[in-house]
Copies of this chain bind each other. A is one copy, B any other.
Amino acid sequence: MRFFRMTVSYDGTCYSGWQVQPGECTIQRALEEALTRITGRSIRVVASGRTDAGVHAVGQVVSFCAETRLPPETLQKAINANTPDDIFVREVATAPIGFHAIRDAVSKHYRYLIQDGPHRDLFSRAYAWFIPRPLDVDQMQAAARVMIGRHDFRSFEAAGAPRRSSVRTIYRLDVGRIELNCTQPIAVDVEADGFLYNMVRNIVGSLVLVGRGDYDAAWVSQVLSGMDRKLAGPTAPACGLTLMEVRYDVDAGAGEGGGD
């Protein structure tokens, strides 16, 4: 039995998220079906995190075990030949015995794109949240700074989905404009040791309230210390969210990171 680690991009628009669910088209199912066709055996794959319906990935990391002698490059080509156009396996590599994409993750980087007004950019409609008025990026960045570091992020966790601990460490939370062909959407880049359910989308929903001028940066500090989901902003739509990169210890397989 060999352990593998693969890096996968996908356009989540047409999928009911990562996780296999009866009767639903999911990324996990597409990858498992491809591996079954290739190896002739039933294979279970594990992702660093279960992205929701409509969420995209540039660098999702997936682990699996397989009894195959195929070299990783051949496996990569075979999976790509057996998955739809909106999934692309960027790399397959052998991994240390016991490697597990969730358990061994040390940090994850998500990017959220906001396309602010006045005109909707058609070409980013599946990848960005359109807000029909210009947002104040400086204010959003000021509010973001408040959240960097180790905090209890309970106020930004989806209701009804409690974890044992809602303390997480945000290493980086940048808000700035990027170049996207002819448009300049706002990118919210967040890297943390782990995320609560809907945490990025709830943070973005709150930052947008600040960007619109409804609240100032100090409000975010109150939301954080209030530890109540009702204090934060709305959940930003799934389509704007992309999992960019997952980091592992150099000797992953022995790690015990707290990612989810």
Shortest C-beta distance, A87 to chain B (Å), equals 8
State which of B56, B178, B182 has its C-beta within 8 Å of the C-beta of A123: B56
Chain B residue contacts of A121, Cβ below 8 A: 9
Rounded to whole angstroms, the CA-CA distance of A113 and B123 in the bound complex is 13
Q: A85-B125, A90-B119, A123-B56 are in contact. Are A181 and B180 (CB under 8 A)?
A: yes
* Besides A88-B119, A178-B179, 16 new A-B residue pairs in contact (Cβ under 8 A), listed by A number: A9-B121, A9-B122, A11-B122, A11-B125, A85-B122, A85-B125, A88-B122, A90-B119, A113-B181, A123-B127, A127-B181, A178-B181, A179-B179, A179-B180, A180-B180, A180-B181
At the interface, yes or no: A256 with Cβ under 8 Å from chain B?
A: no
> 1/0 per position for A60-103, CB-CB distance to B under 8 A?
00000000000000000000000001111010000000000000
> 1/0 per position for A9-24, CB-CB distance to B under 8 A?
1110000000000000
Chain B residue contacts of A178, Cβ below 8 A: 179, 181
Residue of B nearest to A179 (CB): B179
Chain B residue contacts of A9, Cβ below 8 A: 121-122
Q: A180-B180, A182-B244, A244-B182 are in contact. Are A120 and B58 (CB under 8 A)?
A: no
Chain B residue contacts of A120, Cβ below 8 A: 88
Rounded to whole angstroms, the CA-CA distance of A119 and B180 in the bound complex is 19
Total copies of the chain: 2
Q: List the interface of chain A (C-beta within 8 A of B).
A: 9-11, 56, 58, 85-88, 90, 113, 119-123, 125, 127, 178-182, 244
Q: Would you mind naming 26 contact pairs between A and B with Cβ atoms under 8 Å apart? A: A9-B121, A9-B122, A10-B122, A11-B122, A11-B123, A11-B125, A56-B123, A58-B182, A85-B122, A85-B125, A86-B122, A86-B125, A87-B122, A88-B119, A88-B120, A88-B122, A90-B119, A113-B181, A123-B127, A178-B179, A178-B181, A179-B179, A179-B180, A180-B180, A180-B181, A182-B244
Residue of B nearest to A91 (CB): B119
Shortest C-beta distance, A190 to chain B (Å), equals 15
Residue of B nearest to A58 (CB): B182
Residue of B nearest to A183 (CB): B58
Rounded to whole angstroms, the CA-CA distance of A10 and B120 in the bound complex is 11
Shortest C-beta distance, A88 to chain B (Å), equals 5
Shortest C-beta distance, A143 to chain B (Å), equals 23
Shortest C-beta distance, A182 to chain B (Å), equals 6
Rounded to whole angstroms, the CA-CA distance of A182 and B9 in the bound complex is 12
